[in-house]
Amino acid sequence: MSILRPFKAADMFKFNNINLDIWTETYGIGFYLSYLSRWPDLCCVQEAPSGRMMGYVLGKAEGTGAEWHGHVTAITVAPEYRRLSLARKMMSLLEMVSEELYKGYFVDLYVRCANVIAIDMYEQLGYSVYRRVREYYGSLGVGKGGKDEEDAFDMRKPLPRDVNRRSVRPNGRDIIVSRHDVS
Amino acid sequence: MSAAALERQIRPIYDALDTGSNKSAIVACNKLLKKHPKNDLLKSLKALALVRSQKVEESLVLCDEVLEAKPTDDGTLTAMMHALRGLGRHNDMVTMFEEAYKKQPTNEDLGCQTFFANVRANHWKAAHQIATRMFKQFQDDRYLYWSVISAMLQAKDTNTPAAMRPILYKLAHRLIISSPTPSYVNADRFHLHLSILRELDLYEEAQGLLDSDIGKSICATNLSCNEVRRDIWLCQGQLQQEGERARNRIVLMNDRNWLEFLAVLDATLLDAAHPSVPTSTNLGSSKDTLTKIQRAQDLFLDVSKQDRLKDRSGPLALLELERRMRAHGLSQDSTRLITLLKEYFDNFGDKACCFEDLKPFLDLEESDLSQFTIFLQVVPAGFTNVSELRRLINAYKLLRYTLVESDITVDTELERAAAYVKAYFQALPLGVGLPSTELQHADDFALLAGNAYVNIWKLTGNDCHLLNAIYLLEFAVTKSKQSFLTRLILIRIYRLLGAPALALEHYRIMQIKQVQHDTLSHLILSRATAFSLAASGDLTLATECLESTQIYVSNSQETGDFVVRAFQSEKYSQIPEFISFEDQLDNSLQRDTVKIEHLRMRLTHEPISSDIIDMELIELKFIFDRIHYDNRDFAILPNYQPKISRDLNQQTLLFGKPEGHGWLQTFLKVYIRAFQQASDLDDTVEEKLLIGDRPKQTADFDRNLSLRDRLLQQNPSELANLTSDEAKLVEYARALADWLEPYHNYARPPPSVVLAEAAKQTELKTGHPLKGIEIPTINATNGHPKKDEEPPTIQEPPEFVLNYFDGVRARIDDSKSNSSPTELLHVATVAQEAFLLFLVETLRFKSPSVVKINKLSSLVATFNCLRAAAISALKDISAILIKRGESDGSSESLSTCAKIGDSTFASQIDHDFVFIHAKRVADSRRKVLEGVGKGIARICMTYAS
């Protein structure tokens, strides 16, 4: 139960309850505006009836040829609104728009290899690991979780247009690329 | 030298500019300019490098030279664009591009640049004309849409007269339907089209678009278009249809967007909300309403059954329906609301948001309330799993929220605080294994206790309860490092207790950045002058002010670029949003509140001079003329107070007074008036010396009033925002200004003299004369013109001014025995501010020649008496603060507070922990008392004579 609506520039005044969370970065104004000025239909907000923001997703469309796809850049839910399937709803909107409007072949996202809970969730939503990106989150250095903390999984979910399901490969976890090889 | 060779030599200049090596860029420009003295590109690059190194005057001269030459080449135009933007000369930029485009009317890129220059300057009319011309010439549909949205933005502009608006919308409409391709080829064009139709109330035409297959498909995939669609349906009064559509989406597509449920609810109670004939004869329609209610209820029940625990929409819609039925007197079952509440709690009590979900339904009658209370009271206190814990937390929050007046006494609140603390420690083991990046499940109990302690403090006035809150919450953050909510309460309490350094520490840990500075810096900067140590050389808070305002610079530098980008990518739905965002941030109330706060700190630190006065005056006048938006986020504070009491924000405001529009307006008036009297700049001089465009006046005021009239206006609602000490300060400043006004006006040199002096200074600095100013020949005696008229009679200082510092002494006596030093610091810093205002007001008369030529020596004699009295009072205050700082250093007395708490508290948080935090409070207090005390002493010394 929440309102699903477009992300608007003025939401930057309202997102503190989401962004003060450690895993959610607050970027410069330009970051949000650059997404809104190109892919406003891939950016949306979940809002409580009280008007409080619950979470948001920012996405884009990118790639060429058969690599043309929707990409989830940021998806986040405020601590008090977790476990309500909000992320699932926002993802499904983004998938729907990537499919119907952008005619993409798949939707993808990056997730820390150590973030098992998130990986599980994405797998339930139909995503699978396509490849492992070395040192994608290089800034933290190797932490307790070793390489898993700084490497990312590129997870993909095929859209109907990907008839041959090229965005799915069973051995994705073993295919390792450097961060310079990805956009 | 060939063009290619020159280009090779220019490249390093670009590199230097890109890497921020402005100095070397200037050197390189100078070298090449020797060989190519007429090269516009070099001049404009040098101008840009100069702007970036703050050498404004020199840059102005170069810019003027280049503008004169009317350049058309891309490199020069781009460099100039950046330079002029840096100078705030948007109008000149527009002219530059327009001239260039005029010279090369077939250059499409130049056309775009000219259009964008107008966009950046918000010249919508001109933008519209250019886009129209470009469409005719280049036949690209895009330009037609640019002209359409420009017309629309002109209509929206606050400076456009109301009568013009419909004409502009009609123009936009005419243009958009003339488009060779239909608007639905692209969702954003379609959005623009719908928005225009909505403005013109052309609902039928809109409906035509929406009913088409392609219209439907756009609205199904585009949330923004769907938003406009929903709006148009509602404007048309099609609530019934909207309700049906929503019902279909809920049933057929499993849509759980709450907006759809609201649409069903609105449609269901449509007749009850808007009875066509509000009489008892309307039985037919009320029967109809009951049928509809039944239908809605069935729908929501089906959804609830289908979704079970997966989604809260169904049960919540049932609650909302019952609430609305009650409001219209249609409820048939008096127990239903309470049943639904209980059911909801049973099903969703383990969701963190259950409390927030149920809040709107808790305006209960006494019998319902007592039923619900009993229900919640027996929620088992289980601490073995997260779900149990969440239920208990929600029960506690709901119980607290619904407390009635008689339940809220010191004793009951103490009991509650003890229960929350106990639950906190019982719950804590559940989160032992969580990584340090996670929040503890038990945190909410600590937050509840924090709320309770604050409430007890409000009821008793005993600071010990705030200290107890600190000990508990500090303990809670050691267990849950990411709990920003805990830190928010701590920040507020530390400020109340006069320990600002600790508040700042927590604020910094939260890593507030970017736009959050605008919404959250109030936490640390509101009335921060009371804690500023700038006078004694510690600029921590003053720097914090400056850092928090960086975001406004990036806003004015960046947001315009994205408006342009949205034009380029034709995202018309975003353009008005970006513009209003830019405006809202640019005219932020917090921005200018911090500005004033910084000014107050600055005057304690920097010597008061006419330079500071002139510069601040111009800036403050601009601020005074603009409208302000309040973007501050107070909702972020974890407020768990009973709904009948004041909320946590109000309870923990420093000095119990909110800052806001009234506070800002009042302080603006005080400083503008004082600076205006002290300054030699009158409006004509200011006009000549102003660099960049004059900002628009957007504030809401009677345009017939002069600035002086506005400054003298007293608005009781504005004064309500002030503390009593601030109110006294304002009265003092007013009395002082009223008294000295005639002498300032008499002694101020005429504009011609001021301009001549400014021109002289500029020439000395840049080697070029000041543009557009003719220096008159002056009959001067020692630089001061002779006066024909006699000086105004010297009046005795007004009573209020004479007695002000005696009043301050009394206030110091009142506040020095308070256990928290915050009020004492406030009284002291406000008195210091009064003295600084006195210095500003009397600065002009420091010069013996001014006094002599204007025959004001007896006035100056009274100044000396006033100054001596003020300094004597301030010296005493300084001594009191320093002495208090020494005695506040004893942390033992602070740590004993924990004992008046309950036994759980003492058994769980060891004495050392309490003692360490008591000591930190004591140290922070000592530091601020000593620092402010010494600062005042330093000011007394600096301005002793």
* pLDDT tens sequence across A122-147: 999 999 999 999 988 865 555 555 66
By residue count, chain A amounts to 183
For residue A28, which residues of chain B lie inside 8 Å, CB to CB? 514, 554, 558
Query: Within an 8 Å CB–CB cutoff, is residue B227 touching chain A?
Result: yes
User: Using CB atoms, which residue from A16, A48, A81 is nearest to B516?
Assistant: A16
| Selection from B678, B662, B554 nearest residue B615 by Cα | B678
For residue A13, which residues of chain B lie inside 8 Å, CB to CB? 515, 518-519, 584, 631, 633
Distance, in Å, from the CA atom of B922 to the CA atom of B497, rounded to the nearest integer, reads 10
Q: Roughly what angle, to the nearest 10 degrees, separates helices B575-586 and B560-568? A: 180
Mutate to test the interface with A, among B221, B438, B548 (most CBs of A within 10 A): B221
User: Using CB atoms, which residue from B187, B311, B519 is nearest to A13?
Assistant: B519
Pairwise CB contact (< 8 Å): A13 & B513 = no
For residue B257, which residues of chain A lie inside 8 Å, CB to CB? 2-4
Mutate to test the interface with B, among A13, A83, A148 (most CBs of B within 10 A): A13
Give the nearest chain A residue to B256 (CA atoms): A1
Beta bridge partners of A62: A69
Distance, in Å, from the CA atom of B912 to the CA atom of B904, rounded to the nearest integer, reads 16
| Selection from B137, B130, B159 nearest residue B149 by Cα | B130
**Chain B closest CA to A66's CA: distance in Å?**
22
For residue A11, which residues of chain B lie inside 8 Å, CB to CB? none
User: What SS3 class is residue A178?
Assistant: strand
Find tokens 């057929």 and name the residue: B252
Indicate the average pLDDT of chain A.
92
Distance, in Å, from the CA atom of B221 to the CA atom of B563, rounded to the nearest integer, reads 24
CB interface of B with A, residues 232-261, below 8 Å: 256-259, 261
| Selection from A28, B660, B583 nearest residue A12 by Cα | A28
- Per-residue pLDDT tens for A78-126? 999 998 999 999 999 999 999 999 999 999 999 989 888 889 999 999 9
pLDDT score at B273: 76
CB B597 within 8 A of CB B663: no
Show me where the domains of chain A are located.
1-104, 108-183
User: Using CB atoms, which residue from A5, A29, A33 is nearest to B223?
Assistant: A5
Distance, in Å, from the CA atom of B530 to the CA atom of B526, rounded to the nearest integer, reads 10
DSSP letter string over B675-707?
HHHH----HHHHHHH--SPPPP--S-S-TTS-H
Pairwise CB contact (< 8 Å): B569 & A21 = no
User: Using CB atoms, which residue from B311, B439, B573 is nearest to A79?
Assistant: B439
CB B649 within 8 A of CB B641: no
Q: Residues of chain B whose pLDDT is less than 50?
A: 277-283, 780-782
Paired sense of beta strands A53-62 and A69-77, if any: antiparallel
| Selection from B729, B714, B622, B617 nearest residue B673 by Cα | B617
Q: Which domains does chain B have, with CATH numbers?
A: 1-121 (1.25.40.10), 239-274+284-332 (no CATH), 349-399 (no CATH)
- Per-residue pLDDT tens for B844-853? 999 999 999 9
Contacts 24+ apart (CB under 8 A), B531-534: B531/B495, B531/B498, B531/B500, B531/B825, B531/B928, B531/B932, B532/B600, B532/B601, B532/B604, B532/B829, B532/B932, B533/B927, B533/B928, B533/B931, B533/B932, B533/B935, B534/B601, B534/B602, B534/B604, B534/B605, B534/B935
Mutate to test the interface with A, among B581, B588, B631 (most CBs of A within 10 A): B581
**Chain A closest CA to B590's CA: distance in Å?**
12
Looking at CATH, the fold of the domain delimited by A1-104 is given as Aminopeptidase (3.40.630)
**Chain A closest CA to B593's CA: distance in Å?**
17
Cα R_g (chain A), whole angstroms: 16
For residue B585, which residues of chain A lie inside 8 Å, CB to CB? 29
Pairwise CB contact (< 8 Å): B635 & A12 = no
Pairwise CB contact (< 8 Å): A41 & B187 = yes
For residue B484, which residues of chain A lie inside 8 Å, CB to CB? 20-21
Pairwise CB contact (< 8 Å): B574 & A28 = no
Query: Within an 8 Å CB–CB cutoff, is residue B890 touching chain A?
Result: no
For residue B353, which residues of chain A lie inside 8 Å, CB to CB? 48, 80-81, 84
CB interface of B with A, residues 256-285, below 8 Å: 256-259, 261
Pairwise CB contact (< 8 Å): A36 & B574 = yes
A vs B, Cβ pairs < 8 A, gives 148
Query: Within an 8 Å CB–CB cutoff, is residue B480 touching chain A?
Result: no
pLDDT score at A181: 82
CA atoms within a 13 Å half-sphere pointing along the CA-CB vector of B788: 2
**Chain B closest CA to A143's CA: distance in Å?**
13
Pairwise CB contact (< 8 Å): B227 & A6 = yes
pLDDT score at A139: 57
Query: Within an 8 Å CB–CB cutoff, is residue B118 touching chain A?
Result: no
| Selection from A113, A115, A117 nearest residue A133 by Cα | A113
Pairwise CB contact (< 8 Å): B635 & A9 = no
Strand locations in A8-68 (E): 43-47, 53-62
CB B605 within 8 A of CB B535: yes
